[in-house]
Structure 1
């Protein structure tokens, strides 16, 4: 009788301390795919305290352009600026994770541990604003990445971008989960007083334990509430974005989040239902299996209820809020709470474009293509 060949099942997802993704899922453009298997060492790693810590690496990138334009009808801005690629906050639900696939990297752990800093972002912005053909319109700062993520403390790229915008009288809006935005109040408060700046703070839940696994390197919920208060007291219009609403995980907290934010000084509120485009879906499912195995199937079932039976539907008309009975109930809950708390009573002000000052082309190293300065 011969010994049977042992089976090595796919290794279960193992959370890493301080990281959101539990796997380094390969991007959709990779030709070769790899799967982890339990070869007997996984258990040993767990006995030793789990997988080793993953160090963040930051790479300099000299970008060719810095302003990104979109024509999506469900997005309230058409121009955005991202000083970084990837985000160390590690939010497992981040819709921007699939962009790391364009770099040949994983939307999983790579997205939150391999950060690309656009070191010439301020100079590129200066050049863009100097073009005779440039038509000013409000810029959204930090959409595919958090402009105030941890690496910003040292690199200060976002700070330098804001200095350019402030000097040129160019309005912008920003969304963040970081308390580091308070560092730049000396620039932001005067711009807000001139009607050129507004902010939004994203808060998904008030539960610090859930937040630590969901968005491990972002500010705690309590700290974000303090940031809302600080911005509001400085005269900056500040709203709260409850994004995403995750059924049975953050969804029960929605009314409490709105109450806490209204008390802290937020004047506006919005919400977005969980979105799972491309590689975000399998990454999120792995996260659920690792942190909420007791409700993973229930969560995904409710997600599909709001996505026409699929994990995700990219339809512009429904992708932000979902559809169907559960989406309608969520919408009713949100609007009832907003009315009760006096949020959204005034329409958010239109940013003032009249103070924009076109600058002369800079003489810095970004003038690598002199012909561009003719336009």
Structure 2
């Protein structure tokens, strides 16, 4: 038998694979990274258009309260001071998000926290005795009808592709109300966009690492596996096992991006469209993520839809059925011959919704365990 050429084959050149590759390389391991796409970076990849870093796979805003993660990414890139402050649009009226004093003023004309709390209590009162059985009832119970119908119902039904009465209540366990005039969407201590875009981060992580793009692992898995002592697989865990127990469910997205011959289209990086009959959920204007002053602008409409083999899996549907199916695949991954050769990690292999800081934290935990 030929001796393996690499210590690790990493399947997937996204953020999780990039962090593992960096750490393994720094510890003297020989690593090969492959990805079926023609670029590295996974879903945080940016495409340069008209001098603007376009978030090709949807908006990505780095935010964290994890000091270790923040220090880690700042080894490789510097961040700007972008703060995510999305705006919601309903029937040509604009509302600030998350729900804060600006929102309550826009909804009801209230100007003090006391007035806002009284208005919310009044709106909730008709639903105080509900035991919520679905998302609609949960939203009414938490915030009342006005807020639900203008800012929650349509957007959520588009996102999940079904009526709110058919969406589990746990999707919105709570509604965060802020009784300050603070439009910062995140509560995390650190936030921003890498100066130069996310490619600057992933390029730095992959520096000195052998990476091959345009390589579909499943088209030559047997030979690729022979190249390394161990394989880190970051793709869909059900696909790795040929979906033998059934397919895990996802929601997907597609994007329509266009260059506009104007300097500023909507005045904000993210504007949500909350009406059900508007087919997209939001419009991104990418230059605002980096305070761009280019003469033209690039905007992207984001459309949610069902996942199929022809599009990307974005959001796992972590209901009881899918979680039970996941557990079967995870148990299979522990058995021979998989346990000694293969390790699994990342949002698709773990079937979890990860923010970028979650991804880095999980990747660092795996490397600490694997490379100890």
TM tier, shorter chain? under 0.3
Relative contact order: is structure 1 or structure 2 higher (C-alpha 8 Å, sep ≥ 6)?
Answer: 2
TM-score when normalising by structure 2 = 0.24
Normalized per residue, which structure has more strand?
2
TM-score w.r.t. the length of structure 1 is 0.24
